[in-house]
Amino acid sequence: MAVYTDVAAEDLDVFLAEYDLGALVSMKGIAEGVENSNYFVMTESGPFILTLYEKRVSACDLPFFLGLMDHLAQQDFPCPTPIKDRQGHSLKELNGRPAALISFLNGVSPRRATAEHCAGVGRAMADMHIKSAGFELTRANNLSVDGWRRLAEGCHERAGEIELGLCDEITGEITLMERSWPRDLPAGVIHADLFCDNVFFEGSTLSGLIDFYFACNDLLAYDVAIGLNAWCFENTREFNVTKARAFLHAYRQVRPFEQAEVDALPLLARGAALRFLMTRLFDWLHPVDGALVTPKDPREYLAKMRFHRGVASAADYGLLTS
């Protein structure tokens, strides 16, 4: 939610001169994206988003992220398209930072998602899983089960500040996950961060997905598990089975689940909750000085993880096999 790198209009003029978009008409630093600096940029050709990639995004991952958006957009998947300059480059540099100009997407993120929103997200996620199939680059998910023990080390010492015994609970979960994590489910490119902020709607119609900067290769059903956590709980942390049913059924109308995916869903959802619990816990215990974002309460995902621990089967999520 910040603009970390300040861009002068004169420097943007020079940058834009390498594209066929006409002159700069307006620019505004926007509070979107936690990791990068984003500008709303209007040229004589229309509106765009300019992103400057800050330190938390690894520069060598950018061809994957931008290539994925390009690959999806070419198949009419609703997501931002990186704009190419006259040399055919979309990954550029501005103010010493890697930078890209991407297409502007209409729509707004709902604050209070409805079941209709959840269905839209399910359909779009399945569509993305199918359409990313032909994408040739790959990127490992360093925030999946193999990275969790290392992730936990960053908060072990002080996890007890959140709740007594939390450190042991996390270690126990990781041990279980390492032992039980499915390895042979359908895999592909997943969004891996499809939270409400990253989905735009016009009215109740989904208009696009943004922020592909956690996208990676992993189990498709793990993306579904992340979506269940992100979209199907109330702000009061209660699970909403109506939303979950809408989300899951819309997904499988586009891409049917294999039985093994359905069976694994409670474990994957529990693991996804654990992953966000740990990253939020880390950000909570290590607030960045001068950060513009208030760390989110890790207890939200602790509650979700415990909920999934009590789930007997995907039927509890409203997913009936028939």
Binding site for its own copies (CB under 8 A): 1-3, 8-12, 23-32, 40, 42, 104-112, 200, 202-203, 292
Reported for 68-74, long-range contacts at CB under 8 A and 24+ positions apart, including other chains, are 68/132, 68/135, 68/137, 68/189, 68/212, 68/215, 69/102, 69/212, 71/131, 71/132, 71/134, 71/135, 72/128, 72/131, 72/132, 72/135, 73/103
Nearer to its own copies, 12 or 264 (CB): 12
Nearer to its own copies, 81 or 132 (CB): 81
Amino acid found at 96: G
Nearer to its own copies, 45 or 109 (CB): 109
Nearer to its own copies, 140 or 292 (CB): 292
Question: What's the min distance (Å) between Cβ of 251 and its own copies?
Answer: 24
Q: How far apart are the first and last CA of the chain?
A: 43
Query: What are the phi and psi torsion angles at 140 (to 5°)?
Result: -70, 150
Q: In whole angstroms, how far apart are CA 2 and each of 33, 284, 291?
A: 7, 18, 9
Question: What's the min distance (Å) between Cβ of 32 and its own copies?
Answer: 6
Please choose, from the candidates 112, 98, 110, the residue with its C-alpha nearest in 3D space to the C-alpha of residue 58: 98
Nearer to its own copies, 25 or 241 (CB): 25
Question: What's the min distance (Å) between Cβ of 9 and its own copies?
Answer: 4
Question: What's the min distance (Å) between Cβ of 1 and its own copies?
Answer: 7
Question: What's the min distance (Å) between Cβ of 111 and its own copies?
Answer: 4
Question: What's the min distance (Å) between Cβ of 52 and its own copies?
Answer: 13
Please choose, from the candidates 227, 223, 221, 225, the residue with its C-alpha nearest in 3D space to the C-alpha of residue 260: 221
For 60, how many CA atoms within 13 A lie in the half-sphere containing its CB? Answer: 3
The CA distance from 245 to 57, in Å, is 34
Nearer to its own copies, 203 or 256 (CB): 203
285 alpha-carbon distance from chain centroid: 22
Nearer to its own copies, 11 or 146 (CB): 11
Question: What's the min distance (Å) between Cβ of 97 and its own copies?
Answer: 17
Query: 2 has which bridge partners?
Result: none
Question: What's the min distance (Å) between Cβ of 13 and its own copies?
Answer: 9
Q: In whole angstroms, how far apart are CA 93 and each of 59, 89, 146?
A: 11, 11, 33
